[in-house]
Amino acid sequence: MAPNDSVPGLVTADPGLPRPNPTHSYWQHIPHALADVQSPDLPTDQDFAIIGSGITGLAVAKTLLEQHPTATVTVLEARALCSGATGRNGGQMAANAGEQYSSLAETHGAETAGKIVDFTFRNLEKMQELIREYDAVELSEMQNLRKLRVFLTQGKFNEFKRSIEHLEADHPSKKGLYTIVDADTVVKNHGIHGTFGGALLPAGTVWPYRLVTKVFSALLEMYPERLKLETYTPVESVEYTSPSLSPAGAINFYTLRTPRGPLRAGVVIHCTNGYSGHLLPKLRGLVHPFKGTMTVQDPGNSVPNRGAAFSWGFHYPPSSDPQTKRVGYGLYYLGQSAKSGYFYFGGENARVDESVTADDSFVAEHSVGHLQSVLPKFFGKTDISNWRLIGSWSGIMGETPDGLPIVGQLSPALTGREGDGEWIAAAFNGYGMANSLMSGEALALMILGEDVSSWLPIAYGLGEKRLRETLTIPKAVDALSKL
Ligand SMILES: Cc1cc2nc3c(=O)[nH]c(=O)nc-3n(C[C@H](O)[C@H](O)[C@H](O)COP(=O)(O)OP(=O)(O)OC[C@H]3O[C@@H](n4cnc5c(N)ncnc54)[C@H](O)[C@@H]3O)c2cc1C
């Protein structure tokens, strides 16, 4: 790394605005009719301004529209609709709270750790309910399946088993959620080679771009007067200004500056994921961008299509190559299209300075090459003459030092601005499909004055203790420096 690319410099850098020319994600290869939707003129006054049109922005917008009888809602998106992480991810609907249980319980106690397990698994069910409610099972190619997590070292497998034992001891109702399988069964029943064992858990796969765009489109039809989608409208700054009266009589304090002119709003909701630090400089380091690499690979006919029944995760201890300085971050994730047999395969093998960045305008050749070389081996394949790379791209996740999302109201100390009308739901640490929908819903309900503390894990909030102890720049630096 160059000296100014030191880990503290990387995590606290301004992520900037989403780059205007992102890599081409396979999920978006047929753009939705609303991909570049915008009003002829940007609305001037709205009750709620949501920044970001991924699954979190969608969940906030949907809940506000459903729960408030008159509110006007504008979603501002820097690029095309749903062109951030949600339109560029791995399509895995899977939770990771079981494997994290021991460390969560150690930091937050058994009750909160159990709530995180409940929240993430319930969120996955709600994803499937949303897909059914909007008649998107076919369109989004949703599969309700089992995920096979496998472990590439004995140490990782033991650590995982201990965490599941800990979960089951603290919360006996969770017995049966994870089914441990030994290495022989992994090869014989699942055709996966080179592991020390694994576990099966309930999960799913989905085409998230198709889901999110379909629901946005349905909301626009349902609420034509109250919802506006403004794509290609980057918010360049948020200012707390003197109050103005909206057409509905509300007092708006915020001005959002965009290249299409200003928009005034009473409440500003940041659903900006890895880019959050751009409009919220005081969050830099507490949330940092992390660039992920995805591939679509066609195995030809060399591997049976199990995409309707299984998805896969491959876990190994993170390590760094002393020569190339490339880090293997510990996880590969895999789904398979039940229709085409194509594999959707992602995972990171790149230098820290290549990974801690918000630039998804290119994808490193060596990261793609790595994903091409490891996948056939998991299936015991050496002859890969029929194996083809269909596509590759990068996308930007939001990460926090403690690995948990941030959901809640932003104090003036965090916005650097007056006022208490700014809120955030962001940084799902690579597990948005297990968190974003209910986090967005919870945030909207909190904004409307409801108490969600019985189901939103307190550890996702921006409480003083978290800001003092676990959500800190030194912790972020520490986590990355160990690699
Ligand atoms: C390569 C990759 C693979 C992943 N795989 C999985 C997976 O398999 N399963 C899983 O659960 N999760 C996965 N994730 C994570 C998951 O995609 C995210 O957690 C989730 O999509 C976050 O949704 P979001 O709406 O919060 O953010 P995003 O979808 O990133 O949306 C944020 C939006 O805000 C916009 N924006 C930002 N700043 C501004 C601004 N100033 N003005 C206007 N607009 C702005 C962005 O353009 C973007 O569209 C993956 C992520 C990546 C990148």
Give me Rg for the CA atoms of the chain: 22
Pocket test for ligand 1, best of 371, 428, 431, 443 (most atoms within 8 A of CB): 428
Which of 272, 357, 394 to probe ligand 1 with, by most ligand atoms within 8 A of CB?
272
Q: Are strands 319-320 and 45-51 parallel, antiparallel or unpaired?
A: unpaired
Q: Give the nearest ligand 1 atom to 428 CA.
A: 19
* CB of residue 405 inside a 6 A radius of ligand 1: no
C-alpha 289 – ligand 1 centre gap (Å): 10
CA of 269 to the centre of ligand 1 (A): 15
Give the pair of three-digit tokens for residue 274.
């890895």
What pLDDT sits at residue 196? 98
Is residue 33 helix, strand or coil? coil
Q: Pairing between strand 227-230 and 73-76?
A: parallel
Position 60 pLDDT exceeds 50:
yes
> In the prediction, which pLDDT does 243 show?
82
Residue 340 backbone phi and psi in degrees, to 5: -100, -15
* C-alpha–C-alpha distance, residues 336 and 20, integer Å: 30
- pLDDT band of 483, cuts 50, 70, 90: confident
User: Is pLDDT at 5 greater than 70 in this prediction?
Assistant: no
Confidence band, pLDDT 50/70/90 cuts, at residue 18: very high
Q: Where are the alpha helices (DSSP H) in 35-153?
A: 55-67, 101-108, 110-133
Ligand 1 neighbourhood includes 277 CB (under 6 angstroms): no
Confidence of residue 251 (pLDDT cuts 50, 70, 90): confident
User: Does the beta carbon of 89 lie inside 6 Å of ligand 1?
Assistant: yes
264 ligand 1 Cβ < 6 A: no
CB distance 65 to ligand 1 below 6 Å: no
Q: Can you tell me the distance from the alpha carbon of 400 to that of 467, in angstroms, rounded to the nearest whole number? A: 11
Give nearest CA residue, ligand 1 atom 35: 52
Q: Quick check: CB of 79 below 6 Å from ligand 1?
A: yes
Beta bridge partners of 331: 315
Q: Which of 71, 3, 180 has its CA nearest to residue 61?
A: 71
* Secondary structure of 160-176 as H, E, C letters: HHHHHHHHHHHCHHHCC
Judged by DSSP in three states, 363 sits in coil
Closest of 415, 437, 404, 408 to residue 287, by C-alpha: 404
C-alpha closest to that of 476 among 325, 287, 320, 279? 287
For ligand 1, whether the C-beta of 114 sits within 6 Å is no
- The closest-lying atom of ligand 1 relative to the alpha carbon of residue 333 is 8
Ligand 1 pocket test: which of 397, 406, 443 has the largest number of ligand atoms within 8 Å of its C-beta? 397
Structure tokens at 434: 């297990």
Task: Please write the tens of the pLDDT for every residue from 162-218.
Answer: 999 999 999 999 999 999 999 999 999 999 999 999 999 999 999 999 999 999 999
Q: How far is the CA of 271 from the centre of ligand 1 (A)?
A: 9
Structure tokens at 317: 């201890």
Residue nearest to atom 10 of ligand 1 (CA): 431
Q: Is the pLDDT of residue 2 over 80?
A: no
Q: 242 pLDDT band (50/70/90 cuts)?
A: confident
Confirm if 423 and 331 have CB atoms less than 8 A apart: no
Domain formed by 3-89+210-286+402-481, architecture:
3-Layer(bba) Sandwich (3.50)
pLDDT at 247 over 90: no
* Separation of first and last alpha carbons in the chain: 13
| 279 within ligand 1 shell (Cβ under 6 A) | yes
What are the Cα distances from residue 285, in Å, to 277, 400, 428, 433? 8, 8, 15, 23
Q: Which residues contact 303 (CB under 8 A, 6 or more apart)?
A: 191, 341, 379, 381
* Strand (E) or helix (H) holding 215: helix 208-222
- Of the CA atoms within 13 Å of residue 265, those in its CB half-sphere come to 29
If pLDDT is split at 50, 70 and 90, which confidence band does 249 have? confident
What is the token pair recorded at 382?
A: 């050496």
Over range 257-281, report the average pLDDT: 97
| Cβ of residue 63 lying under 6 Å from some atom of ligand 1 | no
- What's the CA gap between 13 and 357, in Å, rounded? 9
Residue 211 Cα to ligand 1 midpoint, Å, equals 14
117 CA from centroid of ligand 1 (Å) = 22
Taking alpha carbons only, the member of 81, 99, 79 closest to residue 149 is: 99
CA of 168 relative to ligand 1 center, distance in Å: 32
Q: Is the CB of 312 under 6 A from ligand 1?
A: no
Q: Is 294 in the pocket of ligand 1 (CB under 6 A)?
A: yes
pLDDT value at residue 341: 97
Asked if residue 64 has its Cβ within 6 Å of ligand 1, the reply is no
Give strand pairing partners of 149: 199, 313
Q: What is the Cα–Cα distance from 20 to 15, expressed in whole angstroms?
A: 13
Task: Give the pLDDT band (50/70/90) at residue 1.
Answer: low
Mapping DSSP to helix (H, G, I), strand (E, B) and coil, where does residue 254 land? strand
How far does residue 139's CA lie from ligand 1's centre (Å)? 20
Q: Which fold would CATH assign to domain 142-206+289-397?
A: D-Amino Acid Oxidase; Chain A, domain 2 (3.30.9)
Identify the bridge partners of residue 423 per DSSP, sorted by sequence position.
Answer: 269, 409
94-149 pLDDT, tens digit each:
999 999 999 999 999 999 999 999 999 999 999 999 999 999 999 999 999 999 99
Question: Which residue ranges make up each domain of the chain?
Answer: 3-89+210-286+402-481, 142-206+289-397
Is 78 near ligand 1, meaning CB less than 6 Å away? yes
